Amino acid sequence: MRQNEDILLSLNVRRELELPTLVDRETLQFYYLKRIIDSSDHSYLLSLADRKGEMDVRSRFWYYFTGDLYGVKEGDNTYMLPLRTKSAAIDRPPVYQPALSSRVTEISRLDLDRLKRCETLYYIARILNIKDEEILLKQIDLNLLGLKVHALFNELYAGLGGNILEADEYRSRFHKLFGRYFRDGTFFTSEEALTKKILMRNLLEVLDRDLNRFSRGYRICTEFMEKDFTAVITDGTTSYTLKGRIDRIDRTPEGLYEIIDYKTGKLPERKHHFQDRGFVEPQLGFYGLLFRKNYLDVPIGSLSYYDLSEKKDLVTIVDADHITDYLDQFEHHLLDFLSMVNQKEELALTEDYENCKYCPYYNICRIFEE
């Protein structure tokens, strides 16, 4: 089959043959065009004439880049349309890696995670705003599963206003919500019935664990559910705005507040959350810092994961005795890290190729240029 004669193949056949889809092609073309323009002092969008002398349609990406046109140059069968990028320096050397167009002053937990794993991942997802392949194809992955589980438990508990129901009432509410959030066709697998059965069994174990905690005096702080937290940190010169939502906050019988992050996949290794490993896993520190900045006088009891797949229980990473020192260290690290990112002239590829294994952008990443 010749290169340009595969356009009528169905989407499923194209995936099986590992051919690019139309969306893949558009995304790839725009990505490389954007990279070329961002790394050059002068750029030209070409429109080629055919043998009959009729001009071809100009680039469909034309309107993304029409900010600074200043004339048209005609050549042999070619019109060159000069385009000067706003961010390009006049005498700078060629740049072969993407650069930040402006300083990072606002960051979410997801942005921080992307920057730590791979700066190129942050550039594609945040700066170019290219949606990852799984979202484009509307297929289920662990991230989307986690969002649904999170939403289910939020709705299960949020409407109660802190009131405690009988165990059977909770289970009845749970089954109704599970049927609504995980309808037939949710899972992209031929074993959907088995997948849903296993998921329901796991989540019912989590519910039983919660009911046991309620009986011991623990309470879920429903007032923090779906709350948008904002906090500002500063090194005295530059300020950064942190934004995010915390999955769950529980109040202990002693009046301490537990910061909890739901996990549907594999739990990160404990050692990767600390300073000597460069806070490779930043989510708990990020959420803890958000909460502390908003409630300075409220004591934090722990930073924990709720393991929804394996242990179906809380896994504490930082306990009450070490919270203050931990968050102080994390804030200092975060300020240094963001300052370092803003000082970079270009963004780098990941140093750990394990991060590429499940990256949604591997098809358009420059890692293959190495």
- Which tens digits make up the pLDDT trace of 299-313? 999 999 999 888 889
- Which tens digits make up the pLDDT trace of 175-228? 999 999 888 766 655 567 777 888 889 899 999 999 999 999 999 999 998 899
pLDDT at 104: 82
Whether 156 is in a domain gets the answer yes
pTM attached to this predicted model: 0.65
pLDDT at residue 85 greater than cutoff 80: no
Say if strands 300-307 and 257-263 run parallel, antiparallel, or are unpaired: parallel
Whether 74 is in a domain gets the answer no
Query: How many domains would you assign to the chain?
Result: 1
pLDDT at residue 351 greater than cutoff 90: no
Whether 169 is in a domain gets the answer yes
Among residues 214, 227, 212, the alpha carbon closest in space to that of 259 is found at 227
Section 319-329 average pLDDT: 97
Whether 255 is in a domain gets the answer no
Residues with Cβ within 8 Å of residue 99, at least 6 apart in sequence:
38, 39, 87, 344, 345, 346, 347
Residues with Cβ within 8 Å of residue 243, at least 6 apart in sequence:
106, 107, 108, 228, 229, 230
pLDDT at 232: 96
- Which tens digits make up the pLDDT trace of 122-138? 888 877 777 554 443 33
CA distances from 46 to 79, 110, 159, 160 (A): 6, 38, 59, 62
Range of the domain at 196: 138-216
* Weakest mean pLDDT among 21-25, 57-61, 242-246: 57-61
Tokens 């750029």 correspond to: 43
The radius of gyration computed from the CA coordinates of the chain, to the nearest angstrom, equals 25
- Which tens digits make up the pLDDT trace of 15-57? 666 666 655 666 666 666 777 766 666 666 655 555 555 555 5
Whether 206 is in a domain gets the answer yes
Whether 177 is in a domain gets the answer yes
Whether 145 is in a domain gets the answer yes
Whether 166 is in a domain gets the answer yes
What is the 3 state secondary structure string of 152-168?
Answer: HHHHHHHCCCCCCCCHH
- The 3-state DSSP class for residue 300 equals strand
